[in-house]
Structure 1
Amino acid sequence: MPATAPPDLLTLYPALGALHPLLARLTPMTVPAGTRLFRENDPCQGFPLVLVGEVRVSRSAANGRELELYRVTPGEMCLVSSAGLFADQPLTAHGVSTCDTTLCLLSPPDFHAALGNEAFRSYVLGLFAARMADLTGLIEAIAFQKLDSRLANALLGHGQQRKTTHQALADELGTVREIVTRLLHRFERDGLVELSRESITIRDSAGLRALAAGQGG
């Protein structure tokens, strides 16, 4: 009897179609929001295949600050996990589910066996390259954009109101809450936004866009 893939797995990760012997060993698991799926400096336990939900991958500093690197959604790849498996080295970041998340875990031996298949190998390397491009953009943003421009950009693209906290924005931007709070109060004084509890309402979209482009203040 042929192996049965978990629901949607082959639709999201079509390169697994040629790896039928491995599919029988992939069992979906569902975790609630806030579950830590892997930790920095731990050995990589496998190659995650997200079916439903989202995983936030971040680096932590000794002072407690965090920098979000990227998020893994259905059909995408975790660069940190694949790098750990490629090099057989500890993980360099941690992953936490942002909502109820269903995923399968391709074990390290199965991952290395799957790399022997040309279609799977090309697929993984293509996703790896795309993730590297994302990280290059993040590094460029951190190195070359002013924090006020990055904060303005983070507020755009969510409609007239973004439901979030100052701490969440600080984590997203890789800085501390006090700096984000100070900048948001400056934005409010300048008439760009209106602040309320866990909510930021945009009052001057054009002004925020100019600031995001580096043309403000």
Structure 2
Amino acid sequence: MNHLADNWIDRFQGLRGLPADIRADLKNGSRIVSVPAGTRVFEAGQSADNLLLLLEGTVRVQHHSATGRDVLLYRVHAGESCVLTTACMLAFENYSAEGIAETEVTAAAIPRKVFDELVARSSIFREFVFTAYSRRITDLFTLIDDIVFQRMDVRLASRLLELASADGYVHATHAVLASELGTAREVISRTLSEFHRRGWIEQLRGEIRLLGREGLEQLVRSV
């Protein structure tokens, strides 16, 4: 933990150019926090009081829809910040989604007061915040485009290829994949059954084994 507290600012390329006084204020005004896997980092309706810059681990940000489904919005990885938190802090609004630690997470927590002061004082810090915000907004528009316009079989094939380990295993249930892709579990089950019929996958308990990676790749390239 001490080595993280000493040099965490330099882990973020956009912050390395901070002048000494701003760097000192950022370091002294923040704290390093750690939470175990499965922890709810924030939830809908909660106020955004700290900007978290992830140093280790992954946080899944998801929205609970009116139909009862959890829809994955994006993941925050080490070296990134959460765009939803940034938006809520800038607009003084509460969270509209929840963040779950998928792994053990270590982050630098920047309190609202420090965040507001540095955004006002430092062009470098301000550029870092808005550049990260802009990139994630672009990702969200891509997600919306995928959900609205792209076929589910293509999206599922692409996600299986992304999640597969080197030996071809995807450790995810139908419910998890449904959450990943913003659809119903039944839709995932039907599509996986078709993939199985084509000989592309084998369905096991809690995981999927890719047998025909070439077929999945060809499906993804077909659109």
Q: Is TM more than 0.5 here?
A: yes
Summarize the Cα distance change of 1:109–1:5 in structure 2 as closer, same or farther, 3 Å threshold. Answer: farther
**Counterpart residue number, 1:171:** 179
Q: Which structure's residues are more often helix, by fraction?
A: 2
Give the whole-Å Cα distance in 2 for the aligned partners of 1:69 and 1:8: 30
Note the alpha carbon deviations across 1:114-173, whole angstroms, 9 max, x for none.
Answer: 102000001111111111111111111111101111111111132422121111111100
Q: Give the partner amino acid of 1:205.
A: R
* 1:60 alignment partner in structure 2: 64
> Does structure 1 residue 210 correspond to structure 2 residue 218?
yes
Q: 1:147 aligns to what?
A: 152
Equivalent residues in 2 for 1:55-94 (5 A)? Answer: 55-94=59-98
Could you say what secondary structure the match of 1:29 adopts? strand
Query: Which residue of 2 is the match for residue 193 of structure 1?
Result: 201
Cα-to-partner distance string for 1:47-87 (whole Å, 9 max, x where unaligned): 11111111111111133201111111121121100000111
Match of 1:128 among 126, 129, 133: 133
- Partner of 2:41, secondary structure, is strand
Quickly say closer, same or farther: Cα 1:51–1:7, change in 2 above 3 A: farther
1:156 and 2:161 correspond: yes
CA RMSD of aligned residues (A): 1.8
- 3-state SS of 1:28 partner: strand
Normalising by the residue count of structure 1, what TM-score does the alignment of the two structures yield? Answer: 0.91
Partner of 2:53: 49
Following superposition, the deviation at residue 5 of structure 1 comes to 7.4
**Which stretches in structure 2 are left out of the alignment for 5+ residues?**
none
Gaps of 5+ in 1: none
Of 3, 26, 30, the match for 1:26: 30
1:178 Cα deviation after fit: 1.8
Q: What is the total number of aligned residue pairs between the two structures?
A: 212
Match of 2:101 in 1: 97
Moved over 3 A (4+): none
1:19-65 C-alpha deviation (Å, 9 max, x unpaired): 21231232211111110011112211211111111111111113320
